[in-house]
Each structure stands twice: as C-alpha cells, then as structure tokens.
A and B are shown apart, each in its own frame.
Chain A
C-alpha cells in the first residue's frame, strides 16, 4: 500500500468520514446500511470536500481520479472523481444520457479516458487493457445480457476463469495430471458459484435456454468467477419484478459481506438504488452533481432538478423514499411496480 500523501488527490470525496484502508475489516465494518446515515450533508454536495489527509488511491478498492471523456467536441464525462471503498455497495445514477455507461466503460477499459486516471487497489490501471483489468479483479455484467448463449451455464462460468487457469496447449492435449486437477477444480468452483447465485440446477443448460432472471444470475456468477475485488453491475434489476429485486438486494449484501467484494451499481431506477446503496453518486450531463448517502441525495435540490425539472415548475415533488411507491413523471426514470 502506498503511504504517500497525494496532496492533489486529497481533496476528493471521503466516504462517510470513516477512515478506511484496504484490508482493514474494522474500518470496512464502519460502513453502515443506508439508513444508519453518517454525517449527512445538507444541500448540494460539492465536488471537492475539504482535505482530510487520507490518500484516496490507497484507501479505496477502485478510484477514478478526475475522469474526463470527450468524443470529438462532445464531453460525455466531465471531470468526475469516483471512489469505491472496500466492502461497500455504491451506486452511480443519473437520468438517461448522463454519462453513466460511458463512465462505466472507462472503469472497465473499453474507453480510454481523455483525462484522468483509474486506480485499482492503489495501482494505476489507466493504460491496462480490459482483459487484464478483468483478470486483476474488475468484473462486470452487462445492461443487455451478454452471455455466451451456446455454451452451458457451467462453461460460461469457466470461461471467466481463463485468467486463473494455467494449462497450455500441450498440457491440454496430453491431459497432464496438473491440467486434469485444474479442470476438476474449475468445474467444482463453477458449480459452487452457480449454487451461490441460486441456479445450481442449470449447470448443463445452454445459457440461451435459461429464463431471463436466471440469465442475469448467471452473468453475476460468471463475473464472480473472476474473483473480483469490485463487481460492476450495469442495471442489474432491469426487468425484475419487486420480489426479485428485493431478493437481489439481499444477494448484493451477501456478496459484499461473505465474499468481501465491493459492488458498484449503475441504475436509473431510483427505488432500487435508494434501498441498497451506502453511497450514491449522481451524474447529470456528464458532470457529478451530487454525492452522498441516499438521504442526502433524496433531499438534494440539484438531483431533484436533474430528475424532475426545475423547482417551481413541479413544486413539492420529492424523489421516492424507500418503501413508498411513487410513479415519477415522464422524465423520471423511477418505475415502481405496485405489488
């Protein structure tokens, strides 16, 4: 772990005010559930909080430092810093076209950031290729499911183990004892992961024949086969009914607590995010407009404006609190199903 104090970076968000270092379970445990709000900030959260003297690169599993992405003259993401502390569930939200997915793609390496840097566990991975980032522990799922449809569930999971397995061409042809053991262990791990996400019975099914919900689960199992440090979920509850999405919340916490994986969610469904996240970052038109606990975000004037339009035109409108069921007007992405 790098102990160097990075003056230039120290102005970046500290989460919850709790000092955190990787591998410090006490610090990690300090992250409460959304409702145990810590140091609620009133009003809009500024991009730069006062320096607390903690190196955000070292303190966070994943840290994106002042990312800017331009496509030609269009600035899709403008100077956004973003941190994922160890063992946390954080979210990135924003109206359609806010730059969420673009930002996500910078984290996974699909896009190159025009400016800024990405750090994974203190290492600068800005120039690292996507597949290497994945091998280093940055796993993702896809908004529109991208499984290997003609491979079985088990094989799908085993593909993601590619970077952990060592067998070469020759040892595969000869089938050396080492290769056999490796394959057997990989197969066992794949089955365990499928059990873990609750689709253990589908081992031998082709992925394309699974139900929609099971496909989403399989995507998560596949991502977890990378032994990730951070799990990036792109709109994971899209198409789920309320019951499924409630189960999903529990599942995310299980992943965080049992496996020690940090989870980043991208959603535009506010209701999911509000219930699940410890920390929320709101993007609008490529810029970070707010950051804080769900309560902060709920009361944040700028966020409300971004989602619902300027105050004054729709006075009194509030983003839905957890548990309530409000259907937002057309611009709002909230789509609460009534049970």
Chain B
C-alpha cells in the first residue's frame, strides 16, 4: 500500500493541473470579453468594431450568460441524476417573479421597503439588493422543487417527464391568472411586473469605477458581463463540487441503475429531491438574473414551454453531465437563438439578395430541431461529452463485447479508429480510439478464453 501511494499521487498530479485548465479558460474568456467591450472596442475604428458588435452585441453575451445559469441548473437534474424535466421554466418564472416582488415599483401594494438596494431611498416600493434576491429566489425555487418533486419523483421515466411538463404549464397559468387569486392581485396577471431594479454595483459604483446601476445602457451592459459571468462561475463551481462528493456519486448511481443504487443504501426519493432542489435553486437565480439584468420586466408570456425545451436542448447538445459542455451548449444556442440566426440571415441576404434577416429568426425552432437531429446522428454524446457518456456511446461494454465474435469486434474497433482520425486531430479522441482498439484486442483474448472453457466442458 505504502509503495503504491506515491505512484498513485504521481498519476494524479497531471490530472490536477488539467483540472484548472477549464476554470482558468472560463475566467480568461469572461475577462477578455469584458475588456474587449469595455476598453478595446471603443478605441478601435468603426470598420473593425462594427462587425464584432453586429455579430456579438454585449446584450447577447449577457443573454448567453443568463441561459448558461439555467442550463447548468437543468444539467444537475437531467445530466447528473438522469431525471427528465420538461417543466424547468417553472423555476425560471418563479425566480423572475421573486425579483418582481422584491425589486420593483409597486403594482398593487403601497409598502416601501429598502434593503441594501442601490436605488434611491425615496423610491416607492420594495427594493432589495440583487444578491439577496438571488438567494431568496434560489431558496424559494428549491422549496417549490421539493413541493413539486415530493409527489412526482416516485414516478419513473416518461411519467415523470409528463408530470413535470404539466407543472411547467401550471406555473405559467398561475401567473397568467395572478391578478385575481382569491381576490388578491398577487403578480399582476398578463401584463406582469415591469421596471424591475437593475443590478447595483455597490462599492465599485461608489468608487466611480462602474456605473452605480447596471441599466440596459452601453456601459451597464458591459459591466453585466462581469456580474453574470460571476453568477455562472458560481453555478459551475457548485456543480463541480457537488458532482465530486457523496451526493454526486449517488446521482450518478441513480442515473445508471436505480434499483442497484437503492440496494446499496442510497435513499432514492431523498437524493432525487435534492437533485431537483439544487436544479431549481439555479433556475431561481437564472430567473432573477433575467428579470433584473436583462428584461427588467416579467410577464407570463415569457415563460412558455418552448423555453423549457430550449434549456433542455442546451444540455443535450452541450453534453449531458459535463458542466463545460453544457455551458458552451448554452452559449452557442442562446447566441443562435438571440442574434446569430439574424446575423446569418443578414449575411445571406447581402450575398444572395434574399430577405432572410427577419424570417430566419422566426424559424429558430426548426433550425434548432434540425441541429438536434444532426447532433443525434453524428455526435450523440454532445459537443463536449462527459468522459463516461462518451464511453457509453462509443464503446461496447466489455461484457457485451465478449458475447460478440472477436473478429467482428476488432473490425468494429478499426472502423471506429478511422472515424476518430477523421473527426479531428484531438489527442484525446485519438487516445480513446487507441483504447478502443486495445479493448477490441482484450475482448478477443477473453472470447478465446471462454471458447476454451466451452470446449473443456
């Protein structure tokens, strides 16, 4: 044991270094984007800065970051615990409305309450600090998650998906009718709540470095990159940490074999509820970020079923279970959905003289659906898959392999290797191809062994 320990450590240290590559990359990207839009682009001449601003406006970056929070939350439920949730929009809505209740001018009640809020103290209405509202909304959503989950999580697979779909719709309908819940105006019904406080910058604003309030102005939007980037960072951090602990293991086990997990002492309902609650917590934060940072208003029409599907698409396309894949999936899809399609349309228009600028964004779900079909055909495991899922999608399991003939498996391994070589010069993929070829050889050996056993008996 003592001899093995240093060897194991030595094995681990390169992995440790590799571990910081993604987080460091993320921080670098956020800081780069901030400085690009804060100081570099304004100083450049228009021909240089205009295309950048057209293809990737600051507002779009912020939207991407907001969607990433949601995708990371759904990833806990779908990617980690393997529970299909089609009503995730419910938590996003409740988060948004929490912001509406705690950070807006009054729509029904005359009650002035200020708590660390950046808005002027004379402003009427309830005004609570953005970060506090994030926590409150997260906790509220987690509780809603428990309430929704407790009766439904006993269901399996398709049934769970259907019930969550129903709950997503119920929440929207609740807010649609919220101007008269037993006579009380709870959330102003169809028009919703508008003019929600923007994010405050606290000490940075006081020092004059940043604007005091991050409104939807050019300066405000640039600083929102940092705020939302920080929120996404926190969500990534929490996702990664939980994944490595006791709960994360239980989720993975649950995803793979519910029965075996329960037989190993994993309390299924409790663990599923926790997945739901953590996912809902992120959803609540995403809701606040959206209401306060992006739309500054919430209304029921914003929380339709399509949004649940969009978040699910981000998770699936990005790579279920892989935090970085999901983040990138969210960036990509929300960019396409928000600004990318329009720009592609503009580009095609200028080349072909068509009029796609307006129509392409309207076909967003057709295009995203097509993208999903293509992904399922050519890269089922997602853009940046979790190493485990990759193993599942690309390699037959050893016991499966052993029940096949050795020749057919080796042939399969070879074709697999060719496909990989085609895909890219990615060293990791090449390594997996090598591993695959190796497993083919190993399986061949094992099959030989079992054949020998058969002969003997």
Interface residues of A (CB under 8 A from B): 108, 110, 129-132, 134-135, 139-140, 142, 145-151, 155, 158-163, 165, 167, 169, 172-173, 175, 179, 183, 186, 191, 195, 200, 203, 206, 208-212, 215, 222-223, 225-226, 241, 335, 337-339
Q: Is B245 an interface residue (CB 8 A)?
A: yes
Residues of B within 8 A of A165 (CB): 246
Residues of chain B from 245 to 260 with CB closer than 8 A to chain A in the complex: 245-250, 252-253, 256-257, 259-260
Interface contact A167-B245, CB-CB below 8 Å: yes
Contact of B457 among A134, A140, A158, A338 (CB under 8 A): A338
Interface size on B, residues (CB 8 A): 43
Residues of A within 8 A of B397 (CB): 149, 208-209
Give A163 to B263 CA distance when docked, in angstroms: 11
CB-based nearest A residue for B260: A146
Residues of chain B from 237 to 281 with CB closer than 8 A to chain A in the complex: 237-238, 241-242, 244-250, 252-253, 256-257, 259-268, 274, 278
Give A158 to B248 CA distance when docked, in angstroms: 11
Residues of A within 8 A of B261 (CB): 148, 159
Q: Is B453 an interface residue (CB 8 A)?
A: yes
Interface contact A183-B245, CB-CB below 8 Å: yes
Assuming A129-B267, A146-B259, what are 20 further A-B pairs, CB within 8 angstroms? Answer: A130-B262, A131-B265, A147-B260, A148-B256, A151-B388, A155-B249, A162-B250, A167-B245, A167-B246, A169-B278, A172-B241, A186-B246, A200-B4, A206-B388, A208-B398, A209-B391, A209-B439, A212-B402, A223-B264, A338-B456
Interface contact A150-B263, CB-CB below 8 Å: no
Could you jot down 22 A-B contacts, CB within 8 Å?
A129-B262, A130-B262, A135-B265, A140-B263, A146-B257, A146-B260, A148-B252, A148-B253, A148-B256, A150-B256, A158-B249, A159-B249, A159-B252, A159-B264, A162-B264, A169-B274, A172-B242, A183-B246, A208-B391, A208-B399, A211-B446, A338-B457
Separation in Å of the A158 CB from the closest CB of chain B? 6
Interface contact B241-A162, CB-CB below 8 Å: no
Residues of A within 8 A of B389 (CB): 150
CB-based nearest A residue for B453: A241
Interface contact B392-A150, CB-CB below 8 Å: yes
Separation in Å of the A247 CB from the closest CB of chain B? 16
Contact of A159 among B253, B267, B274 (CB under 8 A): B253
Residues of A within 8 A of B8 (CB): 203
Residues of chain B from 376 to 422 with CB closer than 8 A to chain A in the complex: 388-389, 391-392, 397-399, 402
Residues of B within 8 A of A183 (CB): 245-246
Interface contact B398-A131, CB-CB below 8 Å: no
Give A129 to B252 CA distance when docked, in angstroms: 21
Contact of A150 among B267, B388, B456, B457 (CB under 8 A): B388
Interface contact B245-A172, CB-CB below 8 Å: yes
Separation in Å of the A51 CB from the closest CB of chain B? 35
Residues of A within 8 A of B259 (CB): 110, 146
Interface contact B249-A151, CB-CB below 8 Å: yes
List the 8 closest A-B pairs by CB distance, nearest first: A172-B245, A163-B265, A134-B265, A150-B388, A208-B397, A146-B260, A160-B264, A135-B265
Separation in Å of the A120 CB from the closest CB of chain B? 14
Residues of A within 8 A of B398 (CB): 208-211
Separation in Å of the A29 CB from the closest CB of chain B? 30
Interface contact A151-B252, CB-CB below 8 Å: yes
Separation in Å of the B196 CB from the closest CB of chain A? 28
Give A149 to B253 CA distance when docked, in angstroms: 9
Give A183 to B247 CA distance when docked, in angstroms: 12
CB-based nearest A residue for B234: A173
Chain B 443-454, CB-CB to A under 8 Å as 1, else 0, gives 000100000010
Contact of A131 among B245, B267, B388 (CB under 8 A): B267
Interface contact B262-A162, CB-CB below 8 Å: no
Residues of A within 8 A of B245 (CB): 167, 172, 179, 183
Chain B 419-456, CB-CB to A under 8 Å as 1, else 0, gives 00000000000000000000100000010000001001
Give A183 to B257 CA distance when docked, in angstroms: 23
Separation in Å of the B96 CB from the closest CB of chain A? 24
Interface contact A142-B252, CB-CB below 8 Å: no
CB-based nearest A residue for B274: A169
Separation in Å of the B54 CB from the closest CB of chain A? 40
Interface contact B242-A173, CB-CB below 8 Å: yes
Give A338 to B456 CA distance when docked, in angstroms: 7
Residues of A within 8 A of B241 (CB): 172-173, 175
